[in-house]
Structure formats: structure tokens, C-alpha cells
């Protein structure tokens, strides 16, 4: 299931949904707005329709590659503050190794493959976040 929206993400509800699949292994990742460097707010924009399609394609690739029972990606957009959940990724598989690898694949690839734009505010200064080389490197490890 793919969800992109402005509503706060409840990790407990998301985890319960992926756990209800009856799988033997569940892996989850929860990404939070960091407060480092004085970030007061994080604003995410997306390209409606295209963002969901990109996430759905990634989830389908993970399901096929690792034989998953289910994959969930819930991503928040809009203005958030430190501590808010930005993203939940959950994978369900027959065994833990597939669930763990697929979860890592999804979070690594969505950082580079899904059309999101981030703006951080610190005091009176707001700036767009440039893509990081470390995100490209993490995504590249799944290319083979």
C-alpha cells in the first residue's frame, strides 16, 4: 500500500497493518524530522500522481525481487517539525532476511527515485535541500 499525504503518520497503525499479513518476518523503518543544525521546520513538496507512481514501482520491484508478501510506504508532505514522522516503510516476507533487505532497498531508493523536494527552515532562513551524494551511493548499491 502506498500513501502520500499531509496527515501525521502513526507508526503503530502502520506496523500493525504490515504485521497482519501473517508473514514470518517483518521489517520497518521510520524516518523522523531531525533537529540537528537548528532545523525548526521541514517542508516537503511532491508531484501528485508521479510520486505515488514512483513509490508503487519501487514497492512492486521489492515484492518481485524478494518475494515479499506485502510492502507499505507511507510518506508525509507539507510542513513538519522535529520529531514528526516523515516516512514509514514496512516489508513482510516469509523470512527475516528478505524483509530486512527489501526494507533497506525501499528506503535507499525512495530517497533518489521519488519526486520529493525538501525545504528546511532555521530561524528566519529557509533553503531547499540539495540531493546528497551519500543518498546516491546508498541507492547505487542496489543496482546489481
CA distance 3 to 79: 17
- Which range marks the domain in which residue 99 is found? 2-140
CATH code of the domain covering residue 40: 3.90.1170.40
Instruction: Report pLDDT for 4.
Output: 96
Task: Give the closest residue to 79 by CA, choosing from 114, 119, 126.
Answer: 119
**How many independent structural domains does the chain possess?**
1
Q: How many CB atoms lie within 10 A of CB 3?
A: 15
The pTM of the full predicted model, rounded to 2 decimals, is 0.91
- Average pLDDT for consecutive 10-residue bins of the chain (144 residues)? 95 93 93 87 91 96 96 96 96 95 94 89 84 72 74
Instruction: Report pLDDT for 144.
Output: 61
Beta bridge mates, 35 = none
CA distance 2 to 73: 5
Amino acid at each position: 500500500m502506498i500513501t502520500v499525504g499531509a496527515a501525521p503518520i502513526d507508526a503503530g497503525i502502520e506496523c500493525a497493518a504490515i504485521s497482519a499479513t501473517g508473514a514470518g518476518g517483518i521489517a520497518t523503518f521510520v524516518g523522523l524530522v531531525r533537529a540537528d543544525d537548528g532545523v525548526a521546520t521541514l517542508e516537503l513538496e511532491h508531484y501528485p500522481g508521479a510520486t505515488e507512481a514512483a513509490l508503487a514501482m519501487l514497492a512492486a520491484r521489492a515484492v518481485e525481487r524478494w518475494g515479499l508478501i506485502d510492502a507499505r510506504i507511507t510518506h508525509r508532505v507539507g510542513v513538519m517539525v522535529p520529531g514528526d514522522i516523515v516516512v514509514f516503510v514496512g516489508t513482510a516476507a516469509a523470512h527475516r532476511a528478505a524483509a530486512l533487505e527489501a526494507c533497506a532497498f525501499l528506503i535507499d531508493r525512495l530517497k533518489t527515485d521519488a519526486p520529493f523536494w525538501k525545504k528546511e527552515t532555521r530561524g528566519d532562513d529557509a533553503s531547499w535541500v540539495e540531493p546528497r551524494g551519500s543518498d546516491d551511493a546508498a541507492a547505487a548499491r542496489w543496482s546489481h
